[in-house]
Chains A and B, each alone.
Chain A
């Protein structure tokens, strides 16, 4: 289907179903139960899952295929966000021009940075991109936000004010980001017994966009162009000696992944019309590297899983506090309850970084292929178990001889 082979088609369909049904899948617990703390099916987090999924998919096109580790991808995300908010300020709250401009601007910006940075490879490339990203951050944070020329509004973040021109804003158009009148914030809540599920317009816009770019990524992975990129990863020198100029390929990959990042940034601003400079900081660039590695570098679905994993920890674990713990363990005798809470305390709330770090280490050490490898191993294990029972109905393992 759509020029994909069978395996890729089923992958695309599975991802499609998962994203469409996310409001159900992410809200498995009744909303007033103690476990509701672990529900992730509220609009903001679902939007973040897919937006960072897009960001990581794009990053993976560069890092997973060519092996060029960019440490400055957050710069493109930030540039995308700023362009989108400027569109809101100048034109209207309709998200289409905003998202379009964010992709274009991020593309141009990545062309510029890529052209310079790709003159080097390996660690030097990483450092160059990191330097550019930190420069962009500093520019956005203070230089470009001085009162005389205020492009980014600095620390406060760029936002839409009532006295902005908004020349295309209709008289009765919603006063927040919308898609031809459908506000991104609009949420339909479905109550089924004790459960409640949120269906958010902004989330579904992001989900549709993610499906499109995920499909694009599959096509890139399977194309001759993708093969060239893999060749760059396996041995660029040999490629050059055969007379091929690899630079246009790497630059194209860099720009494509920059545009993915810009798209993610534009969507982020469309969901929440504020662009802050922190989006460009090196920690944000590092985060997308973590997402990709955690999920599985060079795999199609890995980066999306990694993005979901990290965002889940950031938003769910950081919100568990001692009070919540006490309510969970209230059934234990007093002394024991305090002891258990004391033991868990360092890993929740402000300690979410610690939990994430430990899990990241475990994944990298035991599952070098990321979560995808974990999934594959599980599948294999199940298959072996299944075939094992089929082969040995006696329930006894016989020696080979």
Chain B
């Protein structure tokens, strides 16, 4: 017993001493002497790949991860070099970035803003990542973009399609290569007019969250400009798996086009329900009934199987494009992983190369230098044709693809066919466009 009381006193004493000793430096904290957050000092530089590895977009996340790993290989001069050979900027030598070998860490966003931020924070605080790349949801992209702005690292968004990412939530340290809902609308409208005429009545089913609303707003605006009428817009809960009760009223609404502002599993289910109700065989207002899915992805197409035949939508990129950049990327991705890459994979690959190239041109990893190098950067050869990274909102402008579910696919991967490549000029908009207004880019933040 005496033994116990002695240890307690000892514990008390040492605890108090250690406590004050520890508390002192934190009171006078100031960050270290580095010029910017996570300045790489050794022979390597660390990039953070933050993708959904579990949850509804896990498959897409894994595809992104494969592409990012490929990009790191190419940057380090391994493999066949991929798009480094076709990229219009020749700053990258295949010897890493600024002579430092590229290493990477991975994390799981779980498609939740919180988890994504936790994972990105650990990359920044623990692993010393200077750039975060990837993701498959706009909510996550906006959340992580905000974090990177505060922490002083660069964020290269992966798949994020809501207008807000480079609209009201835009940040100086964040960059988006992927296209957005406004561009989908602008690209789809002429094709819709050509295929379905100018006197259609559209019925929207919209996933009830931020991305769904911005997409609905964009599509409604661009189709009404054609002369279409919007019969109704119905919000569906994100967690729905059965859309029958939402599809049934469409038949009696007098509409002749159904627009599904859904993504991922939602879209697969709602489209399947719509086909089961025989919508595509109906004739309304003397016209054949049509379905439009404004945002497509290869993985959704694979999930919906037969049902997507003939259904129109838009994409950022597709592996069937015939330009040099696409061919180089598809070749090295295919040789390494035995399948063609998805459009989210291509975005992450391009973003990684663009970041590396910007560092190389700026001669530093300092986020402010990188921001300056990326702003209003014009490039080509990464698969999307001539592309412009606009300085005013950090959005990429490039051609947008309008695609259609292939009627006669010859293998598991050509489920989509390219209908039209909408030229860049047609999808450009003013940075102060009402759908994007309200945000502020702010100043680049190098942290430290």
Chain A residues engaging chain B, CB cutoff 8 angstroms = 10, 13-14, 16-17, 20-21, 23, 39, 42-45, 48, 138, 141-142, 145, 147, 153-157, 159, 161-163, 176, 182, 185-190, 198-201, 204, 272, 274, 276, 278-279, 314-315, 318-319, 321, 323, 349-350, 352-353
In the assembled complex, the CB of B258 is this many whole angstroms from the nearest CB of chain A, namely: 21
User: If the complex has contacts A157-B143, A187-B31, are A44 and B125 also in contact, measured as CB distance less than 8 A?
Assistant: yes
Task: List the B side residues contacting A145 at CB < 8 Å.
Answer: 209-210
User: If the complex has contacts A154-B209, A155-B139, A185-B150, are A315 and B118 also in contact, measured as CB distance less than 8 A?
Assistant: yes
In the complex, chain B residues 9-54 whose Cβ is within 8 Å of any chain A Cβ? 11-12, 14-15, 18-19, 22-23, 25-32, 53-54
A157 to B145 Cα, complex, angstroms: 12
- Cβ-defined contact, B126 with A42, below 8 A: yes
A260 to B30 Cα, complex, angstroms: 31
A276 to B147 Cα, complex, angstroms: 13
B394 interface hit (Cβ, 8 Å): no
A30 to B213 Cα, complex, angstroms: 49
For chain B, the count of residues having a C-beta within 8 Å of the partner chain is 61
Write the chain B residue with the least CB distance to A78: B114
- Cβ-defined contact, B26 with A276, below 8 A: no
- Shortest beta-carbon contacts, A-B, top 5: A350-B53, A276-B113, A155-B139, A44-B121, A42-B126
- Cβ-defined contact, A43 with B125, below 8 A: yes
Pick from B19, B30, B53, B104: contact of A349, CB below 8 A. B53
Task: List the A side residues contacting B433 at CB < 8 Å.
Answer: none
Task: List the B side residues contacting A319 at CB < 8 Å.
Answer: 105-108, 119, 122
B131 interface hit (Cβ, 8 Å): no
B238 interface hit (Cβ, 8 Å): yes
Write the chain B residue with the least CB distance to A159: B146
- Cβ-defined contact, B238 with A13, below 8 A: no
Task: List the B side residues contacting A187 at CB < 8 Å.
Answer: 29, 31, 125
User: If the complex has contacts A17-B11, A156-B143, are A199 and B22 also in contact, measured as CB distance less than 8 A?
Assistant: yes
- Cβ-defined contact, B26 with A16, below 8 A: no
Pick from A21, A162, A182, A185: contact of B22, CB below 8 A. A21
- Cβ-defined contact, A272 with B117, below 8 A: yes
- Other 20 A-B pairs with CB < 8 A, given A13-B15, A182-B29, A315-B118: A13-B12, A17-B11, A17-B15, A42-B126, A142-B209, A142-B237, A142-B238, A154-B209, A182-B27, A186-B26, A186-B30, A186-B31, A199-B29, A201-B26, A274-B143, A276-B113, A276-B139, A279-B114, A318-B119, A350-B108
Chain B residues engaging chain A, CB cutoff 8 angstroms = 8, 11-12, 14-15, 18-19, 22-23, 25-32, 53-54, 58, 62, 69, 104-108, 112-115, 117-119, 121-122, 125-126, 137-139, 142-143, 146-147, 150-151, 164, 168-169, 208-211, 213, 235, 237-238, 439-440, 442
Task: List the B side residues contacting A272 at CB < 8 Å.
Answer: 117, 121, 147
Task: List the A side residues contacting B53 at CB < 8 Å.
Answer: 318, 349-350
9 CB < 8 A contacts A-B = A17-B14, A21-B18, A42-B125, A45-B126, A176-B150, A187-B125, A272-B121, A318-B108, A323-B104
Most chain B beta carbons < 10 A, residue from A39, A155, A163, A190: A155
A16 to B11 Cα, complex, angstroms: 11
- Cβ-defined contact, A44 with B122, below 8 A: yes
A13 to B442 Cα, complex, angstroms: 46
Pick from A39, A43, A147, A349: contact of B106, CB below 8 A. A349
- Cβ-defined contact, B126 with A188, below 8 A: no
- Cβ-defined contact, B210 with A45, below 8 A: no
- Cβ-defined contact, A155 with B209, below 8 A: yes
- Cβ-defined contact, B113 with A156, below 8 A: yes
Write the chain A residue with the least CB distance to B150: A176
Pick from A45, A157, A185: contact of B139, CB below 8 A. A157
In the assembled complex, the CB of B280 is this many whole angstroms from the nearest CB of chain A, namely: 29
- Cβ-defined contact, B440 with A20, below 8 A: no
Task: List the A side residues contacting B125 at CB < 8 Å.
Answer: 42-44, 187, 198
Write the chain B residue with the least CB distance to A203: B26
User: If the complex has contacts A42-B126, A189-B32, are A20 and B26 also in contact, measured as CB distance less than 8 A?
Assistant: no
A2 to B411 Cα, complex, angstroms: 74
Task: List the B side residues contacting A155 at CB < 8 Å.
Answer: 113, 137-139, 209-211
- Cβ-defined contact, B440 with A321, below 8 A: no
- Cβ-defined contact, A350 with B118, below 8 A: no
A157 to B142 Cα, complex, angstroms: 8
Task: List the A side residues contacting B139 at CB < 8 Å.
Answer: 154-157, 276
- Cβ-defined contact, A42 with B122, below 8 A: yes
- Cβ-defined contact, A154 with B119, below 8 A: no
Pick from B18, B107, B211: contact of A17, CB below 8 A. B18
Task: List the B side residues contacting A163 at CB < 8 Å.
Answer: 440
Write the chain B residue with the least CB distance to A272: B117
Task: List the B side residues contacting A176 at CB < 8 Å.
Answer: 150
A147 to B213 Cα, complex, angstroms: 9
A42 to B127 Cα, complex, angstroms: 9
- Cβ-defined contact, B440 with A201, below 8 A: no
In the assembled complex, the CB of A190 is this many whole angstroms from the nearest CB of chain B, namely: 7
A349 to B52 Cα, complex, angstroms: 11
User: If the complex has contacts A154-B210, A276-B114, are A16 and B19 also in contact, measured as CB distance less than 8 A?
Assistant: yes
Task: List the A side residues contacting B32 at CB < 8 Å.
Answer: 189
In the assembled complex, the CB of A8 is this many whole angstroms from the nearest CB of chain B, namely: 12
A321 to B119 Cα, complex, angstroms: 14
Write the chain B residue with the least CB distance to A145: B210
Task: List the A side residues contacting B126 at CB < 8 Å.
Answer: 39, 42, 44-45
A45 to B213 Cα, complex, angstroms: 34
Pick from A13, A20, A198, A350: contact of B11, CB below 8 A. A13
Task: List the A side residues contacting B62 at CB < 8 Å.
Answer: 350
Task: List the A side residues contacting B169 at CB < 8 Å.
Answer: 156
In the assembled complex, the CB of A212 is this many whole angstroms from the nearest CB of chain B, namely: 15
A353 to B69 Cα, complex, angstroms: 23
Task: List the B side residues contacting A201 at CB < 8 Å.
Answer: 26, 29
- Cβ-defined contact, B237 with A315, below 8 A: no
In the assembled complex, the CB of B85 is this many whole angstroms from the nearest CB of chain A, namely: 25
